[in-house]
């Protein structure tokens, strides 16, 4: 099966990915043997296009599952990203009203993992048999510190690479072809900053959108096994200082335009050359294409490897809130278990462009052969799949991780704005982190 210009797919909630080329897709499964089951309604809440209800070719996964499981009535609700998470939070507080299956993004996951009593422990339903299938860090995102409780099975990953303007690189006298750019920053973040300094010197313009977007990938590459908090949920700021220093070094080198990602200013800066490169996850390519196409920048964008060993930005999970009957929860898990099988995963990939979180699928020809014509036929599956696989080791995210990350990004923004001197940045970060930890 091949993608065409008329067959587009939503990438998360913010854009479309067109013209990905998929070399193989699965066939429609045969009906399962049916026995007497009481009818059950399974509600499923998510955002954007999860590739279940919508289908540009052939029967949707929703219709296939209902046809082969006639006692199941799937009721799917696609809402907006933040409201769906807010609804889940409120439903858990109220003790009622949650979807039978709730999608949760990785940005929210640590907070929900801290509420194991509010979710079905999927290990009790046999999820442990799939642990070896998943990227280790992906599995850990939905698990508690000792791994005894897992509240979600991974849906997708969004490997992190570097999107850049080829024409701006060429005008600055820098390497502009994908392999040459990847080689120029292949030594790590120091090489990346050096390339940025050359760009700034040649053009007088900033190189990247915001130094805050360097912090999280650098943290993921540290290989400590956790981020901000150790596995006893004790704050450990010293462990992330090397990553914080990378962002500070980029600010000190005057590389950052200090523009918030996906804001109106960012959209404008992306099209008018306020910055030439930025860390971009797989889901962002569709968003960039929409902006670039509208401004006639076709052929001027490309994707190179991210410095360092891997990175990821985004990805979600299937969870079962601990509400409703045990029978409904069991049937919900059966549906999730069906969705994570290769045949369904490949169909979701074909429909949405979302990369699976399972190692063997990322290594498969179906993923490795994916290309994205708008970005000069970038090997989409290879680059974004490999960077997800290259993350050094599983990472434990404590319940307060998201709050700590946001606090440190605020410090970096204050440094970029001139409100905090660079030589006081780390001390300020320590103070802010201690306050956020209370």
Q: Which fold has domain 160-310+394-436?
A: D-Maltodextrin-Binding Protein; domain 2 (3.40.190)
Residues of the chain with pLDDT > 90, as a percent, come to 75
Q: What residues contact residue 187 under an 8 Å CB cut-off, 6+ apart?
A: 307
CATH number for the region 8-157+313-389 comes to 3.40.190.10
pLDDT digits (tens, 9 = 90+) for 19-45: 454 443 444 445 555 567 899 999 999
Distances (CA, A) of 357 to 131, 232, 316, 342: 11, 26, 9, 11
Q: Where are the domains of the chain?
A: 8-157+313-389, 160-310+394-436
How much is the average pLDDT of 117-131?
Answer: 97
Fold match between domain 8-157+313-389 and domain 160-310+394-436:
yes
In the three-class reduction of DSSP (H, G, I as helix; E, B as strand; rest coil), residue 65 is classed as helix
Going by DSSP bridges, is the β-strand pair 40-47/72-79 parallel, antiparallel, or unpaired? parallel
What per-residue confidence (pLDDT) applies to 57? 61
Check: CB of residue 159 under 8 Å from CB of residue 281.
yes
Sign of CA dihedral 414, 420, 425, 431: negative
Count Cβ atoms within 10 A of the Cβ of residue 33 and give its class: 0-12 exposed, 13-18 middle, 19 or more buried: exposed
Between 290 and 101, name the one with better pLDDT: 101
> What pLDDT digit, counting tens, does each position of 48-97 carry?
999 999 666 678 999 999 999 999 999 999 999 999 999 999 999 999 99
pLDDT tens-digit map of 348-368: 998 888 999 999 999 999 999
**What is residue 231's predicted lDDT score, i.e. its pLDDT?**
87
Residue 184: which pLDDT band, with cuts at 50, 70 and 90? very high
Task: Decide: 334 and 174 in contact? Cβ < 8 Å.
Answer: no
d(Cα 86, Cα 46) in Å, to the nearest integer?
12
| pLDDT at residue 294, rounded to an integer | 67
End-to-end Cα separation, the chain, in angstroms: 53
């Amino acid at each position: 099966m091949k993608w065409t210009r008329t067959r587009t797919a939503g990438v998360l909630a913010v854009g479309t990915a067109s013209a990905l080329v998929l070399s193989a897709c699965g066939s429609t499964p045969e009906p399962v043997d049916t026995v007497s089951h009481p009818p059950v309604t399974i509600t499923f809440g998510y955002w954007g296009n999860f590739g279940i209800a919508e289908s540009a070719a052939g029967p949707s996964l929703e219709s296939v599952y209902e046809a082969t499981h006639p006692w199941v009535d799937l009721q799917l609700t696609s809402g907006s990203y933040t409201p769906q998470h807010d609804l889940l939070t409120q439903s858990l507080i109220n003790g009622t009203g949650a979807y039978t299956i709730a999608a949760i993004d990785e940005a929210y996951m640590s907070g929900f993992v801290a509420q194991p009593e509010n979710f079905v422990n999927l290990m009790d339903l046999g999820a442990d048999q799939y642990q070896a299938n998943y990227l280790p860090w992906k599995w850990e995102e939905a698990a508690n510190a000792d791994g005894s409780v897992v509240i979600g099975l991974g849906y997708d990953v969004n490997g992190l690479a570097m999107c850049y303007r080829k024409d701006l690189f060429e005008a600055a006298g820098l390497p502009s072809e994908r392999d040459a750019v990847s080689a120029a920053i292949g030594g790590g973040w120091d090489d990346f900053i050096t390339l940025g300094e050359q760009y700034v010197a040649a053009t007088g313009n900033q190189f990247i959108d915001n130094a805050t977007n360097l912090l999280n990938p650098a943290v993921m590459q540290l290989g400590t096994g956790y981020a901000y908090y150790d596995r006893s949920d004790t704050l450990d700021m010293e462990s992330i200082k090397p990553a914080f220093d990378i962002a500070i070094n980029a600010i000190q080198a005057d590389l950052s335009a200090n523009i918030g990602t996906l804001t109106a200013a960012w959209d404008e800066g992306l099209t008018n050359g306020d910055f030439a490169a930025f860390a971009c996850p797989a889901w962002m390519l569709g968003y960039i294409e929409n902006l670039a196409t509208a401004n006639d920048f076709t052929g001027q964008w490309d994707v190179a490897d991210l410095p360092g060993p891997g990175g990821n930005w985004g990805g979600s999970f299937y969870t079962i809130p601990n509400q409703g009957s045990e029978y409904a929860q069991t049937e919900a898990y059966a549906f999730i278990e069906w969705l994570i099988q290769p045949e369904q995963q490949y169909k979701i990939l074909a429909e949405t462009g979302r990369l699976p979180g399972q190692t063997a699928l990322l290594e498969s020809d179906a993923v490795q052969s994916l290309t994205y014509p708008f970005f000069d036929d970038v090997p989409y599956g290879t680059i974004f799949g490999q960077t997800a696989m290259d993350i050094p080791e599983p990472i434990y995210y404590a319940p307060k991780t998201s709050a700590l990350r946001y606090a440190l990004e605020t410090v970096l923004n204050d440094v970029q704005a001139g409100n905090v001197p660079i030589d006081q940045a780390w001390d300020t970060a320590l103070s802010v982190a201690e306050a956020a930890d209370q």
